[in-house]
């Protein structure tokens, strides 16, 4: 029987647990974890994401600091704002919503965020620390959410052959590090991979993170595999993943749905990281 990995419900539970911990920490320290959110411009999708993060903060009792900036804001001004947030003790995490307008150098902006406030886990140091299995480092939210979801269902990666399709800096690469730390044997594929099916059909775990609707089909997976779908593809039929869910699911042992799988876990991990950043800076275990 196929088990659906229910990210929606788990994310709800995680948020509830964080809310309780935030309340306890507030009592204990008199302080409140705070997340600064920076949005440049008016991109409708980014606005929806940002607003849901702000709403989430309020629901779990974290403080949010909103910085909505015009699309023509200069790089210099944005760097100035980040510097101010770096110094603000009420702010434990800084999230700059991507993508940024083309006149702003994303790398430069991410580099400006203080390491201990990098709740997106985008900074090179955090990615390096992730590969070194450092316990205090902040992990990119989507890979962190995938690990939490696999753990919830007691899926042990030790010795498993895992194929990750997608080599982005925020999903594929950090996830490979997290899988390696759990003793999986990892292959990372990309759009130039010679024969994708050749790679995926023998894998115990397949993670799809390329943004290509229904790319992973039933003939490409092994009976009993674990399938994780990171894809969010907007189609006339609604949001669909990178996996042909209907046909792949019967063959899989575990599979994430889209929506309701990895997506809600990503946002929950942002709050998890903000709490972790708060605890790191206040030396709380
Ligand atoms: N844009 C799309 N996803 C993300 C994310 O996880 N973090 C940030 N900062 N921007 C994004």
What band does 107 get if pLDDT is binned at 50, 70 and 90? very high
What band does 3 get if pLDDT is binned at 50, 70 and 90? very high
What pLDDT score was predicted for residue 51?
96
What band does 94 get if pLDDT is binned at 50, 70 and 90? very high
Ligand 1: which residue has its CA nearest to atom 9?
A: 97
- Peptide bond preceding 12 in cis form (omega within 30 of 0): no
> Mean pLDDT throughout 2-29?
98
Q: Give 235-253 pLDDT, tens digit per residue.
A: 999 999 999 999 999 999 9
Q: Are residues 110 and 223 in the same domain?
A: no
Q: Are residues 109 and 54 in the same domain?
A: yes
This prediction has a pTM of 0.97
Q: Which 8-state DSSP code applies to residue 98?
A: S
> Mean pLDDT throughout 103-123?
98
Q: Give 195-219 pLDDT, tens digit per residue.
A: 999 999 999 999 999 999 999 999 9
Catalytic site residue 53? yes
Q: Is the distance from CB of 226 to CB of 204 less than 8 angstroms? A: yes
Ligand 1 contacts CB of residue 200 (under 6 A): no
What pLDDT score was predicted for residue 11?
98
Cα Rg of the chain, angstroms: 19
Q: For residue 125, report the distance from its CA to the centre of ligand 1, in Å.
A: 18
What pLDDT score was predicted for residue 76?
98
What pLDDT score was predicted for residue 159?
98
Ligand 1 contacts CB of residue 207 (under 6 A): no
Q: Is the distance from CB of 250 to CB of 126 less than 8 angstroms? A: no
What gap in Å lies between CA 102 and CA 96, rounded to an integer?
15
> Mean pLDDT throughout 261-276?
98
- Is residue 246 included in any domain, yes or no? yes
- Residue 225: which CATH number? 3.40.50.720
- Is residue 12 included in any domain, yes or no? no
Please tell me the number of Cα atoms within 13 Å of 209 on its side-chain side: 24
Ligand 1 contacts CB of residue 97 (under 6 A): yes
154: left (phi over 0), alpha (psi -120 to 50) or beta: left
Structural domain of 247: 141-263
Supply angle C-alpha 125, 126, 129, rounded to 5. 85
> Mean pLDDT throughout 179-201?
97
> Mean pLDDT throughout 97-114?
97
Domain boundary residue, one of 98, 114, 130? 114
CA distances from 255 to 2, 79, 94, 153, 259 (A): 7, 41, 32, 11, 12
- Is residue 268 included in any domain, yes or no? no
Helix H or strand E encompassing 264: helix 262-281
| Dihedral sign of CA atoms 53, 55, 56, 57 in order | positive
Mutate to test the pocket of ligand 1, among 93, 95, 101, 230 (most ligand atoms within 8 A of CB): 95
Q: Is the distance from CB of 244 to CB of 123 less than 8 angstroms? A: no
- Is residue 38 included in any domain, yes or no? yes
């Amino acid at each position: 029987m196929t088990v659906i990995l229910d990210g929606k419900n788990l994310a709800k539970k995680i948020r509830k647990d964080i809310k309780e911990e935030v309340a306890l920490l507030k009592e204990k320290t008199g302080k409140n974890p705070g997340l600064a959110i920076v949005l440049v411009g008016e991109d409708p999708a980014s606005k929806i994401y940002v607003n849901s993060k702000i709403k989430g903060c309020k629901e779990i009792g974290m403080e949010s600091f909103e910085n909505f900036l015009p699309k023509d804001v200069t790089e210099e001004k944005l760097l100035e704002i980040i510097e101010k947030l770096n110094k603000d003790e009420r702010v434990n995490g800084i999230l700059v919503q991507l993508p940024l307008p083309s006149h702003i150098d994303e790398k430069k902006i991410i580099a400006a965020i203080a390491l201990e406030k990098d709740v997106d886990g985008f900074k090179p140091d955090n990615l390096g620390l992730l590969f070194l299995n450092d316990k205090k480092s902040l992990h990119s939210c989507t890979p962190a959410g995938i690990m939490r979801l696999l753990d919830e269902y007691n899926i042990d990666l030790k010795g498993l052959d895992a194929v990750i399709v997608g080599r982005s800096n925020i999903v594929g690469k950090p996830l490979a590090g997290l899988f390696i730390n759990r003793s999986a044997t990892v292959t990372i594929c990309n759009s130039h991979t010679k024969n994708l099916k050749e790679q995926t059909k023998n894998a115990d775990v397949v993670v799809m993170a390329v943004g290509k609707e229904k790319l992973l089909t039933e003939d490409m997976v092994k009976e009993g595999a674990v399938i994780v779908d990171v894809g969010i593809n907007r189609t006339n039929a609604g949001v669909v993943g990178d996996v042909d869910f209907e046909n792949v699911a019967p063959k899989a042992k575990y599979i994430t749905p889209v929506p309701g799988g990895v997506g809600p876990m990503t946002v929950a991990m942002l709050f998890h990281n903000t709490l972790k950043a708060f605890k790191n800076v206040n030396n709380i275990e």
